Amino acid sequence: MEMDWKGNMAELGGAFMLSWVVLGMSGSGVGTLIGAATLAVAWMAFSGAHLLPIVTWCHMMTGDLADQDNWMNNGMRLVFQALGALAAVLLATEAGSMEGLPDFVHSEMWVATMGDQMWAVIGMMAAGAVWWQIHTRCNSEWASAFALMALGGAMTLDGAHQMGSMLADGGTQVADVAVDWIMNGLVVGLGALLGMKIDEMIPDGDDASAE
């Protein structure tokens, strides 16, 4: 049986998004309107992924029960869903070092306190990676906007407004605001780049079978 890396990584990425956003940051749960909309966006972005164990089990039980590949392929999907959720829980709880989620507040000097904000930085990069995949795959302004709203707790979305306010105020806080303005966007952009590079490195099913 050839490993479907693209499919399994889609399960991991989608399950990470659902667990982190729906059950972690918003705490809304999949059975809510926000949860359902997030699930719809995730299904659009991670095309072909099941994302929920119940979906995988339905595919498994309604498939060819005598086919070993049916059990193995769907079993791997369940494993990667669990790994994605594990990564989300570790990020949401700062690997168990704090209760709840990181407090995404601007520091007085972003670079000087980067060590203290390690988990916030990781969250920004993760949000950038997930959102850029959604933005470039879905080809839908509504999906991109909703995903940005869902992931906004891990990103700074009002950078231009803050810069404009600082300039209108005569530049009295130029050091703090300018550093945040540059670094917050840069880290999210690095996350988008990382997500894109990882996706490029994962072989397609056809590529893997041809090797």
Identify the pLDDT of residue 75.
92
Q: Which pLDDT does position 78 carry in this prediction?
A: 94
Q: Are 70 and 60 in contact (CB under 8 A)?
A: yes
Q: What is the pLDDT of residues 8-17, one digit of tens each?
A: 999 998 898 8
pLDDT at residue number 106: 42
- Alpha-carbon distance of 24 to 26, in angstroms, equals 6
* Whether this model's pTM surpasses 0.85: no
CB 108 within 8 A of CB 174: no
- What are the residue ranges of helices labelled H in the chain? 5-17, 33-45, 53-62, 68-92, 118-138, 141-151, 159-168, 174-201, 205-210
Helices 68-92 and 118-138, packing angle to 10 deg: 130
Can you spell out the DSSP letters for 53-88?
A: HHHHHHHHHHS-TT-HHHHHHHHHHHHHHHHHHHHH
Output the pLDDT for position 186: 87
Dihedral, CA atoms, 151, 139, 5, 186, nearest 10 degrees? -50
CA angle, 17 as apex, 11 and 19 as ends, to 5°?
A: 95
Q: Please state, in angstroms and rounded to a whole number, the distance separating the CA atoms of residues 34 and 40.
A: 10
For the residues of 160-180, what is the DSSP string, one character each?
HHHHHHHHHTTSTTHHHHHHH
* pLDDT at residue 118, as a whole number: 79
With tokens 């979305």, the residue in question is 157
pLDDT of residue 102: 43
What pLDDT, on the 0 to 100 scale, is given for residue 94? 72
Tokens 């399960």 identify what position? 11
CB count within 10 Å of CB 211 equals: 6
Torsion angle (degrees, nearest 10) of CA 152, 155, 158, 163: 180
Q: What pLDDT was estimated at residue 92?
A: 78
Task: Name the stretches of the chain with pLDDT < 50.
Answer: 98-114, 208-211
Distance CA 91, CA 101 (A): 8
